[in-house]
């Protein structure tokens, strides 16, 4: 199979502001690379402060003067369902663009487009079914909660599964009546460029959705520091999250940040070993290993450790590395040469910190591009860098344990706390371990199966706040308490004399 550009590429990737595709005010652009060849295949507008100012002004105008926040929930719901219909109808095109731009295997990119549509459907239904709390004091008072959209939401999204992760934020932000400015990742701006025409076709009013491409240090920084953007939702690495937290502080912005992870997958001797192998191999090598919830530290009870390592290594050696466009490919090309160099540097570090049992370099059949063989290190000590630091690639560390207490100590021995995966047939152990592990999300005897009704987010260095279900509604709305007196107010009579 040959590597070719997808059909329908635009001549250039532009911003989308107030219903129009536009270049940067100052004409700034940046190169977008194809991860298979690392050659520039298109130019994108590079947003600066002036472009963010225009986008925020359009979003603010659409919020204060436009119909969007004042629409009945059912009206907004109909439009968001239409967005989902359009996304589903363009599934093949979206997947092709996403795969070409990000290096994701085409079969996995197709799943992301379907999930993006489902995200819009979920929140379109949720706002119609939503009810607010009422508290009664019989004969005296009724108190109710009035939810109101907050204003302009700044959405900053990462380069792994970009289209789907953009929909996670766009769905609830728009459903609740806010307007948005989206700043997609500079490595993967291609699929995001489709949102403008999708929203326009669905009937979203001009100015409700705005998109500014560019670097985090320029466009992202200007969005975070803009005084008329009261909300920032960010998904990305923890160090960037810390910087956004600091830069938002003077403006007291609402923040939701889903950050990095170094998630443990704990396999006890009584686990269904075949199922655990399936899930743990998939959990770190799917999406090219570029996933925040990857189970990149596998902790295995010693009595089954040698068998597990041997079988895991064999599976890793047989993972199909190939062109992203090939339906047989299981691991494609990493997103960008900078990221490739980072992952390969960790592979070299790992060779001094563990026993290499699979991979460890570039596949022979791909002398160029960002290809990494699925790499497995065994006997990794808890203080090793490959055990402690997020690699964000197809690299895994396997470590033995002897007791439940040691397994828990190893699982929690990291600054991160996003996800955890536990494999055991002991019901008591499963629940007790789940409740003791320091992770925002736990999957028992399962791979990462997402339920949109549940909170998504982490603890420690893995995040701040949660989104998903009603947690997203909470984040994107102000909750105003309204108190009504039904009888005499009985206020103390200050200043009325005796």
Nearest to 425 by CA among 278, 270, 313: 270
Per-residue tokens: 60: 């603010």
Per-residue tokens: 156: 């900053």
Cβ 112 vs Cβ 95: under 8 Å: yes
Per-residue tokens: 284: 């770190």
Element (H, E) at 88: helix 73-89
What residues are paired with 457 via a beta bridge?
Answer: none
Q: Where are the alpha helices (DSSP H) in 207-336?
A: 221-224, 238-248, 273-285, 302-318
For 159, 213, 222, 281, 290, the CA distances from 193, given in Å and listed in that order, are 13, 9, 20, 33, 22
Cβ 475 vs Cβ 467: under 8 Å: yes
* C-alpha to C-alpha distance for 350 and 396, rounded to whole angstroms: 10
Q: Which residues contact 62 (CB under 8 A, 6 or more apart)?
A: 18, 68, 179, 205, 206, 207, 208
Under DSSP, is residue 326 helix (H, G, I), strand (E, B) or coil?
Answer: coil
What residues are paired with 456 via a beta bridge?
Answer: 467
Is 258 in the active site? yes
Cβ 209 vs Cβ 170: under 8 Å: yes
User: 2 exposed, middle or buried (CB, 10 Å; 0-12, 13-18, 19+)?
Assistant: exposed
Cβ 488 vs Cβ 139: under 8 Å: no
Q: Which of 98, 258, 353, 390 is catalytic?
A: 258
* C-alpha to C-alpha distance for 496 and 135, rounded to whole angstroms: 32
Q: Tally Cβ neighbours within 10 Å of residue 364.
A: 8
The full length of the chain comes to 498
Pairing of strands 419-423, 441-444: parallel
Kindly list the catalytic residues.
Answer: 258
């Amino acid at each position: 199979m040959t590597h070719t550009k997808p059909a329908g590429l635009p001549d250039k990737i532009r911003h989308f502001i107030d219903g129009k595709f536009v270049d940067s005010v100052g004409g700034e652009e940046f190169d977008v690379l194809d991860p298979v060849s690392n050659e520039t295949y298109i130019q994108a507008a590079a947003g600066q402060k002036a472009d963010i100012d225009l986008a925020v002004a359009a979003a603010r105008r659409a919020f204060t003067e436009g119909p969007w926040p004042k629409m009945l929930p059912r009206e907004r719901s109909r439009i968001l369902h239409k967005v989902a219909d359009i996304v589903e109808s363009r599934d093949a095109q979206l997947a092709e663009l996403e795969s070409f731009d990000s290096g994701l295997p085409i079969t996995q990119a197709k799943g992301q487009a379907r999930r993006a549509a489902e995200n819009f459907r979920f929140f379109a239904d949720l706002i119609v079914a939503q009810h607010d709390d009422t508290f009664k004091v019989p004969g005296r008072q009724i108190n109710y909660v009035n939810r109101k959209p907050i204003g302009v939401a700044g959405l900053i999204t990462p380069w792994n599964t970009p289209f789907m992760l953009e929909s996670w934020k766009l769905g609830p932000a728009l459903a609740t009546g806010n307007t948005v400015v989206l700043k997609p990742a500079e490595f993967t701006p291609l699929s995001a460029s489709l949102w403008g025409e999708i929203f326009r076709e669905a009937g979203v009013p001009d100015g409700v959705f705005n998109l500014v491409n560019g670097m985090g240090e320029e466009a992202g920084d200007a969005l975070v520091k803009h005084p008329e953007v009261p909300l920032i939702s960010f998904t990305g690495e923890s160090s960037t999250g810390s910087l956004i937290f600091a830069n938002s502080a003077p403006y007291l912005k609402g923040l939701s940040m889903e950050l990095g992870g170094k998630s443990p997958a704990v396999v006890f001797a009584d686990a269904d070993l075949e199922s655990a192998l399936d899930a743990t191999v998939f959990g770190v090598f799917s999406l090219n290993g570029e996933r925040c919830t990857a189970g990149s530290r596998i902790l295995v009870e010693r009595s089954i450790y040698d068998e597990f390592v041997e079988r895991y290594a064999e599976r890793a050696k047989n993972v199909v590395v190939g062109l992203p466009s090939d339906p047989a490919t299981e691991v494609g090309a990493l997103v960008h040469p900078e990221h490739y160099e980072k992952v390969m540097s960790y592979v070299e570090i790992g060779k001094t910190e563990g026993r290499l049992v699979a991979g460890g370099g570039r596949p022979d059949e791909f002398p160029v591009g960002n290809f990494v063989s699925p790499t497995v290190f065994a006997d990794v000590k808890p203080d090793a860098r490959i055990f402690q630091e997020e690699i964000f690639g197809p690299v895994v560390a396997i470590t033995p344990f002897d007791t439940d207490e040691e397994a828990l100590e190893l699982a929690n021995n990291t600054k991160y706390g996003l996800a955890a995966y536990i494999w055991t047939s002991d019901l008591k152990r499963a629940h007790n371990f789940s409740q003791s592990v320091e992770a925002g999300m736990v999957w028992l005897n399962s791979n990462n199966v997402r339920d949109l009704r549940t909170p998504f987010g982490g603890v420690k260095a893995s995040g701040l706040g949660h989104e998903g279900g009603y947690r997203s509604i909470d984040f994107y709305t102000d909750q105003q308490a309204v108190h009504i007196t039904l009888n005499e107010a009985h206020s103390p009579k200050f200043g009325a004399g005796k």
